[in-house]
Structure 1
Amino acid sequence: MNHKNPTNISFWYDPDKRSILYQIGAACLFAFVAWYLVSNTMTNLERQSIATGFGFLNHEAAFEIGESLIDYSSADRYMKALWVGFLNTLMVSFIGVILTVILGTFLGIARLSKNWLISKCAAGYIELFQDIPVLLQLFFWYAFFYEMLPSPQGALSPFNGLFLCNRGLIFGIPQAHPVYKYMMIAVIIAVIIIFFMKRWARKRQDSTGKIFPVFLTSMLLIIGFPFVCWLIGGAPTGMDIPVLKGFNFKGGLSLSPEFAALLLGLVLYTAAFVAEVVRAGIQSVSKGQTEAAMAIGLKQGQVLNLIILPQALRVIIPPLTSQMLNLTKNSSLAVAIGYPDFVSVAGTAINQTGQAIEGVMLIMIVYLIFSLSTSAFMNFYNKKMAIVER
């Protein structure tokens, strides 16, 4: 019986060679479609005498932005206007992610509470906010601030220095003092010390079995270092308290209704999904391990920190990453309630300059940066929290 040599297989019957051909064909088809779309777009733009390129970024913006973390005026360039929008989006996304993780974790644990009332309240919250579209929630909170809250003259003031009205949330802040800069430096130093302390405590526990009070020590460092700096700097207590002058408040710090509505809507909506992620992660750990840990004398906090969380985080982190990305992308809905995020500012620039392709491209790049940065950090954290078998 004759057997064909595998090396003499015809090209069309060799799956490896055919796969290479298919990939080359797919790449050529993609390149052709891309070339056709780009060339057709450039031809249409030239026919309509529409300029292309990013040169418009150096032109005067000629429009104001209601909220800005940096100094900005209508005389500045489009580049700076877009930078203002970028910072606004970054601020609401960063604060929103932190508040969402805190609230979602609390709700997820409450959902598993043995207390009937707490468990049902958490379940009701989750069902309510999951089932209402986030855009409708943004509209509700926007209307709440503008329609249901009083004017500045009748602002709600639970205590001196805090005011809530249709102009937003206005509250007092410490007066500027050089010591606060050193307090921030002290916080950074404390975080660095805590990082190395946690690594040392983990190695010490692995080798000796002794548990170091990392959480308590961390809290003491975070609070103690800035407090010592505050005392050394003269313990300043001056406050910049907002005062009603005319039709608005002067002084202090204010959060606009648009920012507050956007932040509330995103946090309350996304936290409902994070709560379910946390609940699923905790329930993935078998009860037998918890019971065994309690049987050998571990306290409830130690059981949570040493037994439940290290295993639950393996289940929690991947879907939690998706929820963080959803919150960041949903922040683009800010344009619906007038908050000047990057999409809103870029949209204004597009309307004024007609550079639609460049503007949309910048929006895509910015959100791609946000998404990739978040994914990279969470993937790094996921690897750090992975349980290594020895």
Structure 2
Amino acid sequence: MPSFFSNPKYRALFWQLMLMALLALGLWLLVGNLQANLAKRGIEMGFGFLSGPAGFDIAERAIEYSADSSYWRAYAVGILNTLRVALLGIALSSLLGLLVAIGSLSANVLIAAISRGFVEIVRNVPLLLQLFFWYLSLTAALPANDSPLSFGFGFFLDKGGFHFPWFEDGWFTAWVVPEPGPFGLTGGASLSPEFMALLAGLTIYTSAFIAEVIRAGVLSVPKGQSEAAKALGLSGWQQLRLVILPQALRVIIPPTTNQYLNLTKNSSLAVAIGYPELVSVATTTLNQTGHAVEAISILMLVYLTISLLTSFIMHRFEQATRLKER
């Protein structure tokens, strides 16, 4: 036994196991106490309610769903809606953040000032207020449903959202173009004003933070690297793409991953503007069934899973782009 505790590795493992055991015991006592308290109120814990009919409709959905569908199906719709706005937001905020970062480092005083002003304003205005701003702006500025704004080639914009051609009756079997009618557009697919407002708010807000991360990463690269690239005759874009950014990625990726996680979790604010993502579905389910613990547990599990997957993917990307030293 003395030799066991004299080894720092085994000693650390022992205390970690003890901590895990204490946490497991605390969780077991907490769940037992919760079950007892709920039983006194006539509430039974369990996830059996998920197989019952949801009884509410979800207007914006990526899969087939109706009020007769199960709560499981409703949660699936909410998760897909969350993933849709999160993935698009990550892509767009990364692109916009890169452009703003390049602008803030520009030798052009006006472009640099505009970029810095954008970052300072967006970062210091609460995201919820920005979502309200974009939602109210879109709903007020968009034309009425009976007189949509046409961009040609079947693309329209009105108070019902952004409409565009899409496949119907199965993939690649029928290409349907939206057509104006007396009661609005019919056919094709559309993005609701709630989705566009949420995507715009998340993209712009997150891009301001990503821009600062990229700017700091670029400035972390020794100035001699850009001077050497310039001496080789590389253009400014080539210097950034071939020399600066590859070296800055090791500084950029970890904090950018945090911003991706924040964007995904911030999508839960969509409930304030009526976009039916995961939190909105969970809240409706909780109100109808009274299974608060189960509904919140599902929320926590889904967000934890998304966060872990995002972290894993970004970690593998960091390993793949890491500079190989000889």
* Same structural fold, with TM-score higher than 0.5 when normalized by the shorter chain: yes
> Quick one: distance in 2 between partners of 1:348 and 1:382?
39
The one-letter code sitting in structure 1 at the alignment partner of 2:114 is C
Higher relative contact order (CA 8 A, sep 6+): 1
SS in structure 2 of the partner of residue 157 of structure 1: strand
> Quick one: distance in 2 between partners of 1:71 and 1:251?
17
- Deviation string 1:63-91 (CA, Å, 9 cap, x unpaired) is 10011111111111111111111111111
SS in structure 2 of the partner of residue 254 of structure 1: strand
Larger C-alpha radius of gyration, 1 or 2? 1
- Deviation string 1:118-153 (CA, Å, 9 cap, x unpaired) is 111111111111111111111111111223333212
For 2:105, the equivalent position in structure 1 comes to 112
- Deviation string 1:347-382 (CA, Å, 9 cap, x unpaired) is 111111111111111100110111000000001111
For 1:328, the equivalent position in structure 2 comes to 264
8 A contact 1:145–1:165 mirrored in 2: no
8 A contact 2:168–2:188 mirrored in 1: no
- Deviation string 1:271-306 (CA, Å, 9 cap, x unpaired) is 010111111111111222111122133344442233
Q: Note if 1:61 corresponds to 2:54.
A: yes
Percent identity between the aligned chains?
48
- Deviation string 1:138-175 (CA, Å, 9 cap, x unpaired) is 1111111223333212433354633322211223x266
Within a 5 Å distance, the mapping from 1:230-245 to structure 2 comes to 240-245=176-181
8 A contact 2:46–2:294 mirrored in 1: yes
For 2:240, the equivalent position in structure 1 comes to 304
Specify whether residues 18 and 263 from structure 1 end up closer, same or farther in structure 2 by C-alpha distance, changes over 3 A only: closer
Q: Note if 1:79 corresponds to 2:15.
A: no
Specify whether residues 22 and 83 from structure 1 end up closer, same or farther in structure 2 by C-alpha distance, changes over 3 A only: closer
RMSD, matched Cα:
2.7
Match of 1:157 among 150, 158, 164: 150
Specify whether residues 116 and 76 from structure 1 end up closer, same or farther in structure 2 by C-alpha distance, changes over 3 A only: same
Unaligned runs of 5+ in 2: none
SS in structure 2 of the partner of residue 66 of structure 1: coil
Specify whether residues 20 and 118 from structure 1 end up closer, same or farther in structure 2 by C-alpha distance, changes over 3 A only: closer
The one-letter code sitting in structure 2 at the alignment partner of 1:274 is I
SS in structure 1 of the partner of residue 58 of structure 2: coil
The Cα of 1:29 is off from its aligned counterpart by 4.3
The Cα of 1:179 is off from its aligned counterpart by 9.9
> Quick one: distance in 2 between partners of 1:279 and 1:244?
46
Q: Note if 1:290 corresponds to 2:235.
A: no
The one-letter code sitting in structure 2 at the alignment partner of 1:110 is G
- Deviation string 1:294-330 (CA, Å, 9 cap, x unpaired) is 2133344442233111111111101110000000010
Q: Note if 1:314 corresponds to 2:250.
A: yes
The one-letter code sitting in structure 1 at the alignment partner of 2:255 is P
8 A contact 2:166–2:189 mirrored in 1: no
> Quick one: distance in 1 between partners of 2:43 and 2:317?
46
For 1:125, the equivalent position in structure 2 comes to 118
> Quick one: distance in 2 between partners of 1:57 and 1:300?
57
Q: TM-score, normalised by structure 1?
A: 0.76
For 2:195, the equivalent position in structure 1 comes to 259
> Quick one: distance in 2 between partners of 1:51 and 1:177?
42
- Deviation string 1:226-248 (CA, Å, 9 cap, x unpaired) is xxxxxxxxxxxx96432222332
Unaligned runs of 5+ in 1: 1-6, 182-237
For 1:228, the equivalent position in structure 2 comes to none
Specify whether residues 114 and 353 from structure 1 end up closer, same or farther in structure 2 by C-alpha distance, changes over 3 A only: same
For 2:38, the equivalent position in structure 1 comes to 45
> Quick one: distance in 1 between partners of 2:299 and 2:116?
37
